[in-house]
Amino acid sequence: MKETKYVRRTFLQKYLKLVYLLAGSGTLLSLKSNAAKKQPANKTVPQDDPKNPCDDLSKVSADEIAKRKKLAYVNQSPVEDNQCGNCNLFIPAPDKPCGACLLFKGPVSPAGHCAYWAPINE
């Protein structure tokens, strides 16, 4: 009698493991296929505007471009009222569309932003 219970228990444990395994893999597959469906077919990556002088990085070294990326610099601030133009580290260039930043070299848009934005101390 004890052997029959033990065999039944072993069988149920193995069966439940198999069910959990199949259910888990089915869930993973459905999540993966849903993720693939959500991606647009022709995903376009926004390109910098070649006509905007603040996007011209042709004279900027790769190290400085890497610094920009590390600081998450963008030429259009996503945060209203937090822009390079009103940042304490911005170096304005009178009569020019682009200024500069104390943290890296190259043109900086007054409308830009990065992770180190700091309010001007007045």
Cβ nearer to ligand SF4, comparing 90 with 98? 90
What are 74's strand-pairing partners? Answer: 113
For residues 114 and 72, is the Cβ–Cβ distance under 8 A? yes
Cβ nearer to ligand SF4, comparing 21 with 91? 91
54 binds ligand SF4 (CB under 6 A): no
Question: At its nearest, how many Å lie between ligand SF4 and the CB of residue 121?
Answer: 13
How far is 79 from 71, CA to CA, in rounded Å?
15
| Furthest CA-CA distance within the chain | 96
Instruction: Give, as ranges, the residues between 66 and 105 that touch ligand SF4 (CB under 6 A).
Output: 73, 84, 87, 89-90, 101, 103
State both tokens at 57. Answer: 């990085």
> Contact residues for ligand SF4 (CB under 6 A)?
73, 84, 87, 89-90, 101, 103, 108, 112-114, 116-117
